[in-house]
Amino acid sequence: MNVVMDRENPFAGNHSPKIIDGSTGMASIMQRDWRLQQDQKYVGYIWLKCCDNVESVNIMLDVFIGRAVALFGRISVPVKVGDYYRHDFEFTGPYSAPGQFTITVFRKGDEPATVHVGRVSVMPADNVHGLRAETLELLHRLDPAIYRKHFAKIPAQVEHDHATLDVQAATTDADKALTVAIVNSSDNEEAVKLDVTGFDIAGKTVRQVVFAVPQNEQQQMPMTDTKLETFDGSIVADPSTVTLLLLEEPDNFPLPSQAMLDQVARLKAKGIPLTDYHIHLRGGMTAEKAFDWAQKTGIRSGVLENAGREWPLSDDEKLLAFIEDARRFPELLVGIQVNDRDWYMAIDPAVRAELDFVLGDTMLMDGQRLWFEGEYEIANEDVWLERYFVHTMTVVNEPITILANPMYLPDKIMHRFDDFWTEARMIRLIDAAIHNNVALEIQSDTQFPNKRFMEIALERGAKITIGRNNHDDRPNELKRSLDWLEKLNVKPENMLDLQREPRPAVRPATVRGMVTLNGDPVEGAMVTFHPIDPRGVPVYGRTDANGSSPGRGNEVGFIKTPLATEVVLFGK
C-alpha cells in the first residue's frame, strides 16, 4: 500500500495522508476529475512533511483529451526534512478539459521514504481571498448580511503561526458592527489575536462580543475598552463567528462603588491583607487596567494567564515574555494558571522561579474541559465522582500556590453536590492543602466553596484567598468574597499574603539517587528534589525503569538553589 492515513503526525484533525515509497523507489497519490479552463491561470500551495530519505517530490499535471492522457506540467517541490512546510506554485491550463493532479515521491538509497501531505489547494488566480470570483458575484446578487459588501479589502487580519485558521470579515448594521468569521479546521482549540485594521473604531467602545456557534447558540461576553485595537479570544474547532458590536460614544470606565470602598476599609482596619490573585489578562483586561483597579480599590492585583501545551503560554519563551510585560507594573504579582497535570516538569525551573504564584483548579480532567458539558457523558455517576475526587486530590498535591474554585462540580452533576461533598471529603482536601501550603480561594462569581467548607478550612488553619476569574475587563467588586471574609470573621493570619522577595544569586546543584524496594529498582515513584532554602526551585518527576530519579541528559536531578545552601531528597 502506497498511501495510509497517519494518526501520529497529523497536520490538522485526526489524521493526514502519508505516502510510502514502494519497492520501485517511488510512490504517488492523485486527484482526478477536476476541470481545467484553457488559458486560465491557477495558483496553489501544498503542505508537506518529509523524512530524511526523500530524494525528490514532484507534482505531475495531466489533462485528458478524449481517451488520451497528456502531461502538460511538472512542478518540483523542494525537499525540507523536519516539520510541515508550505510550497506555493502556479500554472496555466492548456485546454478546457478534465485534469489529473499527482504527487509523486522518490526515495534515495534502499531505505523507505515517507511524505505526509498536510493540505493541497488549487484555485483560479482571480480568486478573492480564497473565494471564487463567480461565487462572489452570485453572493453580491443575494446581498446577504453576513458577507462583506466590498470584497477587495479584508478589515480584519489574524495573527497566528498555524495554517488551520481561515478568517473572513464583513461590516454589518450600516458599518456600525464588524463580523469576523473564523473557520478552524483542526480538532484543537486555537488562540487568536484579531487586528481590526481598516475598520474605523476611533472614539467608539466595544460593548460585547457574541460567539455564534454552528448550532446557532449564542454566548455573550460583556466587555468595555475605549478605542479597542485588538481582540484576544479562543476559537474552538468548527466554524465560528465573532461579532464586535460598536457604539458611537465611549463610556467612562466605572469607578468602584462606595459600598465596596467602605467594605475594603473595614477589612483593612482589622489588618486583613487583600489581594485578588485571579485576574486573567484576556478579553480586554491588561496589566495596566489591573494596576489601575488596584489603585482605585485598595485591593492588590495578581495577574495571570493560562499555561499549557494548548494554551496561550505554551512554552518557556512565551511565559517569560508574559512575565516581563506584566512586570512593567512592579506592584502587580504575576502568576499562571496551570492546565496540564505534568506542568511542573514542562516548565524550566529557572523560569518557574520568576513567578510569584501558581494557580490550579479541577475544571479540566483527563484533558476534558468539564464546563463544556455537551462534549462528554457521565455513564455512571458514582464511578465518575470517585474518579473526580482522585483528580481533585492530584491537583492539590501539585506544587501550586492556590487552589481555585474548591468544591467545583459541573452543572450536569450538581444534583449530587451534597452527598458527594461530605465533611470527610472536605477535611481530606483541606488537610492536603494545608500540608502542601496551598491556599484555598473564595470565588466571587461562583458558589464555590460553600460556607461549611470555609468554616472547616479556617478551623484547621488553612490559608484563604479571594479571586474573580474574569473573562473580560469589566471591574469586579468581589462582593461574595469580601462578604464571606466579614461573615466568617477572618483574621490576618488566615489570609495568603505573598510578598515578592529579592531574587537570590543561584547555583545549579546535581543530585543523584535511586529508589528501591527490597533491593529492586522501583519504576514510576514520584521523587521531589527540595532545596533547604525556600527560595530555591524544586524539581518533580518519576523514576525510570532503573529506579533513577528525573533529570536532564545524564543528570539524575537538576535544581537551582541560592548560593551555599544544602539540598535534600524526598521520595515517596
Beta strands in 78-137 (DSSP E): 85-92, 97-107, 114-124
- The residues that bridge with 49 in the sheet, in sequence order, are 116
Domain ranges of the chain: 3-124, 133-246, 258-494, 506-571
Residue 151 confidence class, pLDDT cut points 50, 70, 90 = very low
CA distance 225 to 207: 8
Residue 21 pLDDT > 50, yes or no? yes
Q: Is the peptide bond before 124 cis (omega within 30 degrees of 0)?
A: no
Report which of 142, 203, 193, 200 is spatially closest to residue 171, judged by C-alpha positions. 200
- The pLDDT of residue 163: 53
Question: Residue 404 above 50 pLDDT?
Answer: yes
Q: Which CATH class is domain 3-124?
A: mainly beta
* Residue 531 pLDDT grade (very low, low, confident, very high; cuts 50, 70, 90): low
**CA gap 504, 261 in Å, rounded:** 37
CATH 3.30.70.20 corresponds to the domain 133-246 = no
Q: Please say if the pLDDT value at position 443 is more than 90.
A: yes
Which of 346, 390, 365, 337 has the alpha carbon at shortest distance from 540?
346
What gap in Å lies between CA 129 and CA 152, rounded to an integer?
Answer: 9
Between helix 423-435 and helix 451-460 the angle, nearest 10°, is 40
| Greatest Cα-to-Cα distance within the chain, rounded to the nearest angstrom | 93
- Confidence at residue 553, expressed as pLDDT on a 0 to 100 scale: 31
pTM of the prediction?
0.51
H or E element, residue 456: helix 451-460
Cell matching residue 30: 492523485
Q: How far is CA 220 from the centre of its chain?
A: 20
| Mean pLDDT in residue range 222-249 | 46
Q: How confident is the model at residue 526 (pLDDT cuts 50, 70, 90)?
A: low
Question: Chain centroid to CA 347: how far?
Answer: 15
In one letter, which amino acid is 509?
A
Give pLDDT, residue 474. 81
CATH architecture of 258-494: Alpha-Beta Barrel (3.20)
Strand, helix or coil for residue 547: coil
* Residue with cell string 452527598: 419
